[in-house]
């Protein structure tokens, strides 16, 4: 607020890579009063940041494992940070992003995700769109939801993959159930709740 009082506190995932020291980038979907107001911030506006908090990082993934990012909607944000850092660090692990949205218009950071995929031969992306037409793109895309078949098709070996997921609770519940049914140990499935 202009008088210096706090209007509201909210937690968001950082999109910028950890190695970036000159700015912090947050990603959010403009939905309710808070995000509508946040979207009007301009250069010079004062905001207070706290954190970061949480342990949703790649640090726990063994170097010989691949990593599968399962993102639903704006749940893409923590993975942007991770993939951006993998490009900077020239990380040789194999990364797969399965990114589910209701419509093509809901795909956040679409052009950058394609660019990151081009910049890192170890990073593959598959877009899932529930309704409507698929995006016109030079990437893999599927109509429908992420399924056990598509998880296996795009993520490869269940036994040598860590699964990180972020998205709406029903999406994450369905992904976790599927992975557990395929014998993925619970400790290799990590979730970022929002």
Whether residue 169 has pLDDT greater than 90: yes
More confident residue, 166 or 21: 166
DSSP state of 175: H
Are 140 and 133 spatial neighbours (Cβ–Cβ below 8 Å)?
Answer: no
Q: What is the largest CA-CA distance in the chain?
A: 55
Whether residue 106 has pLDDT greater than 80: yes
Q: Judge if the upstream peptide bond of residue 52 is cis by omega within 30 degrees of 0.
A: yes
Whether residue 134 has pLDDT greater than 70: no
- Distance from chain centroid for Cα 141: 17
Q: What is the pLDDT of residue 7?
A: 63
Whether residue 71 has pLDDT greater than 90: yes
More confident residue, 110 or 39: 110
More confident residue, 112 or 11: 112
Give the separation between CA 74 and CA 144, rounded to whole angstroms: 18
Averaged pLDDT, 141-164: 84
| Least trusted range by pLDDT, from 25-39, 59-73, 105-119 | 25-39
Whether residue 118 has pLDDT greater than 70: yes
Kindly calculate the radius of gyration of the chain based on its CA atoms and give it in whole angstroms: 17
- Distance from chain centroid for Cα 39: 20
């Amino acid at each position: 607020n202009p008088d210096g009082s706090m209007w509201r506190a909210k937690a968001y995932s950082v999109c910028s890579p950890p190695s970036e020291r000159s700015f912090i980038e947050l990603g959010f979907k403009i939905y309710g009063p808070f995000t509508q107001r946040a979207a009007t911030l301009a250069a010079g506006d004062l905001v207070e940041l706290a954190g970061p908090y949480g342990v949703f990082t790649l640090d726990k993934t063994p170097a010989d494992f691949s990593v599968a990012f399962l993102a639903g909607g704006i749940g893409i944000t923590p993975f942007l940070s991770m993939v951006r850092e993998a490009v900077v660090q020239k990380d040789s692990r194999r990364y797969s992003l399965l990114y589910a949205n209701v419509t093509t218009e809901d795909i956040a950071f679409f052009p950058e995700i394609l660019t990151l995929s081009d910049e890192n031969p170890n990073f593959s992306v598959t877009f899932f769109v529930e309704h409507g037409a698929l995006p016109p793109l030079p990437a893999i895309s599927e109509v429908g939801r992420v399924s056990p078949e598509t998880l296996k098709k795009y993520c490869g070996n269940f036994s040598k993959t860590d699964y990180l997921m972020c998205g709406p609770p029903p999406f994450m519940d369905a992904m976790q159930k599927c992975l557990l049914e395929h014998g993925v140990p619970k400790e290799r499935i990590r979730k970022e709740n929002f």
